[in-house]
Amino acid sequence: MDFIRNLLTQINEAVTGALGDLGPLILVGGLGLLLVVVALPAILFRKKDPLDKLREMQNGAGDKESRRALRIGGKDQRLDRFSQFLEPQDIDELSQMRLTLIRAGYRSKGAVQTFHFAQFALGLGFLALGSIYVLVAPGLSAQASIMSVLIPGAVGYYLPKYWVTKRVQTRAEEITQGFPDALDLMLVCVEAGQSLDQSIIRVAKEMRAAYPALCEEFEMVAYEMKAGKDKTKVLRDMGERVDIQDVNSFVTVLIQSATFGTSVAEALRVYAAEMRDKRVLRAEEKANKLPTKLTLGTMMFCVPPLLIILIGPSVYGIAQNLSGG
């Protein structure tokens, strides 16, 4: 107890010497502000309750929202005037950028312009913040001043790209996770006598609350088929948009089944069983990786406190004996 009391006294004296008499109060207030800042994203960006999504689906609000999300919006006229600066002039590069944004869920025609404008605006904004910091902070060296301006500008420029990359990964994980369940439901619909088009529509309607990204892709396939587009072309476009191996294999199975005249239900039954086994293997792989990932956290957060509790009193006693001798 004396060791802990002395440690707290030393911490209090250090804080008081650095921040003044109100140092402990300032420290506690800063910690409280830090906790508020950490908790705000969880409150502001809280995911929607699945039960609320189901209620909206029953009331018809989910269908309107999904159709609105799939509708391709036009370009912003204010940004369209600067299209030569905000869009890649190379056709292949422009097409690849549009495909990447579609995979991230941004389907509007002006998505590429908005993305490059966000890079430009955030880069300049962070550069301005870095310049203000250099002007306000005294005594910075030339190298420190340059880095204080360039690093925030680079962070602001690459922030939209990082956001889009994370969105693509999140949607890919959601589609991969929900794809086996979608195949099982599609197999049930096909075996019940529905056509493939009706099965896709049914799957998109029933699974929207759990896997909205996957249902958006299925709804787009259903609408394109209703519009009269060739079924093979529609399926290949879906595989290209999603760019996931499981979905590409599913598209290949359906195309081969339609080409050779085999049973779609039988092909779906075999492929759905394979996807279930694959999902179990992915879960086992994650479970096997978990002990390795926990090792570092255990060493960092459990071993030091344990050593302090076990060895701390002995070290303090030896120090007291040495000082007394």
- How far, in Å, CA of 215 to CA of 57, rounded? 13
Choose among 216, 218, 186, 195: nearest CA to 67: 216
**Residue 163: predicted pLDDT:** 92
DSSP assignment of 155-212 equals HHHHHHHHHHHHHHHHHHHHHHHHHHHHHHHHHHHHHTT--HHHHHHHHHHHTTTT-H
Examine the domain organization and report whether 17 and 132 are in the same domain: no
On whether residue 325 sits in a domain, the answer given is: no
Sign of the alpha-carbon dihedral angle for 113, 116, 119, 124:
negative
Examine the domain organization and report whether 160 and 245 are in the same domain: yes
**Residue 50: predicted pLDDT:** 62
Biggest distance spanned by C-alpha atoms of the chain: 96
**Residue 86: predicted pLDDT:** 66
Examine the domain organization and report whether 225 and 265 are in the same domain: yes
Angle 106-215-118 (CA atoms, 0-180°, nearest 5)?
10
Q: Model-level pTM?
A: 0.65
CB 180 within 8 A of CB 276: yes
Examine the domain organization and report whether 162 and 83 are in the same domain: yes
- How far, in Å, CA of 197 to CA of 16, rounded? 72
**Residue 5: predicted pLDDT:** 67
**Residue 42: predicted pLDDT:** 65
Examine the domain organization and report whether 103 and 236 are in the same domain: yes
**Residue 136: predicted pLDDT:** 80
Range of the domain at 123: 50-292
Neighbouring residues of 5: CB distance < 8 A, sequence distance ≥ 6: none
Q: Which positions of the chain have pLDDT values less than 70?
A: 1-5, 7-8, 15, 19-30, 32, 36-37, 39-86, 89, 324-325
Examine the domain organization and report whether 33 and 129 are in the same domain: no
- How far, in Å, CA of 123 to CA of 121, rounded? 5
On whether residue 233 sits in a domain, the answer given is: yes
CA dist list (Å): 127 to 82, 116, 134, 137, 160: 22, 16, 11, 15, 15
Neighbouring residues of 129: CB distance < 8 A, sequence distance ≥ 6: 152
**Residue 165: predicted pLDDT:** 92
Query: Exposure of 113 by Cβ count < 10 A (0-12 exposed, 13-18 middle, 19+ buried)?
Result: buried
